[in-house]
Structure formats: structure tokens, C-alpha cells
Amino acid sequence: MAKKNRKGGGGFPAPDGKYAPGAAGTLSALGKKLILVGLISVAGGFFVLSRTDPYGRNRASHLAPYLLLGGYGLIAAGLLAKNGETEGRSEAMKG
């Protein structure tokens, strides 16, 4: 197999054959915010988890799993959030 030539830091190829830097592999502003909120939620979930009753009969025992799973879901959503700037570039290249 041939080695891929990736000049310019990766991304989608422009019409002239060069790669546009930062076009792919970057996080959007919304994605960064979602990841930050997700990390805070996960940290809060572990803090609340440390306050649980050994028998699981207090409020912290019921709240911690939702904070943890919700935080991990927000991190995943942040990683998958689309960059609006990239979509605008690809449409401008077409027409």
C-alpha cells in the first residue's frame, strides 16, 4: 500500500489539491463547551458517589449514576458535534 501524502496538517483537500489546515479533526466551540460541562458533571458525579450510603438508601446513591452517565454522554456529544465553520467552507468550495 502506498503512503498517504498529508501536507498542510491534514483536513479535506482543497480544489487545488492542497489540504486545508484545520478543516478536519478540530473541535467546534459548542463541542468544547459540551466536553467541559461533561467533565464537570463526571467530577461532580464522583464527588456525590463518595457521599453515598453503603446500603444505597440516600439521595446521593440515586443521583450519582445520572451525573456520571450524563457527563459521559455530554463528552461523547461534544466529540461528535459538527464544526459549523467547516460546513460553510465545503459549501463555498462547491459553488
Strand, helix or coil for residue 4: coil
pLDDT of residue 73: 98
State pLDDT tens for residues 5-45.
Answer: 655 555 566 666 665 555 567 899 999 999 999 999 999 99
Spatial neighbors of 39 by CB under 8 A, at least 6 apart, are: 71, 75
Q: Where are the domains of the chain?
A: 42-94
